[in-house]
Chains A and B, each alone.
Chain A
Amino acid sequence: NAGVTQTPKFQVLKTGQSMTLQCAQDMNHEYMSWYRQDPGMGLRLIHYSVGAGITDQGEVPNGYNVSRSTTEDFPLRLLSAAPSQTSVYFCASSYSATQTNRVRANVLTFGAGSRLTVL
């Protein structure tokens, strides 16, 4: 089982260029999400999806687009890269876990990350 696979692992862009970060999961998870991680800021949610054809914005969506045509894939597009988008990007998929009879929590499985530098 590969889990969550992200490509590329590293990328350098010039300001104004566009690119797509790929994310694929093979666990048949319903939910998928993109986070960015910056020093001192923790992980912040960019966009998320609750199923094929359904996406919504997270905390920091500006400058990014997503789509989800299949359960397995959730690409993140940078429309016009800016230096402020230099970051490490993590894709995650999730399922609901149960604890006794309570309403479920979501357990995220993360990819290994994509390190993006925008010059």
Chain B
Amino acid sequence: QKEVEQDPGPLSVPEGAIVSLNCTYSNSAFQYFMWYRQYSRKGPELLMYTYSSGNKEDGRFTAQVDKSSKYISLFIRDSQPSDSATYLCAMEFAGGTSYGKLTFGQGTILTVHP
């Protein structure tokens, strides 16, 4: 079983819909939780990151972390065709010793159609 599980989709929604992307994990030592967005034939780019449990909002994007359930979510409000991409969750252990080593989910392919 992978340490981080993410539904690969694909997920297809109409423009304006609310999108919910989710990951579960098994290692309770993860402390930093990130979402990366990857457009086709490009490298991933950081969308948001949060520390421990809680919510974080950035424009149309909201990241939620529930450490008690080992469950993280990314919500996209008023989705746009430009949001069509693969979304990867990623996690990092606490402290300054992770040296940029992240554990990624499998990625969810999202298509927002006009």
**A residues near B, CB below 8 A?**
4, 31-33, 35, 40-45, 48, 50, 58, 90, 92-94, 96-97, 99, 102-113
Contact = CB atoms under 8 A, between A and B. Distances in A.
Nearest to A3: B43
Chain B contact-residue range equals 20 to 34
Contacts of B8: 40
Interface in B1-54: 4, 6, 8, 31-32, 34, 36, 41-46, 49-51
Contact of A48 (B41, B50, B101, B105): B101
Given A105-B32, A105-B49, A113-B43, A42 B107 contact: yes
A17 to B, nearest CB: 24
Given A99-B51, A105-B34, A90 B96 contact: no
A31 B88 CA distance: 21
Most buried by A among B42, B94, B99: B99
B106 A50 contact: no
Contacts of B95: 103
B104 A103 contact: no
Contacts of A32: 100
Contacts of B88: 42-43
Contact of A42 (B34, B41, B106): B106
Nearest to B49: A105
B49 A107 contact: yes
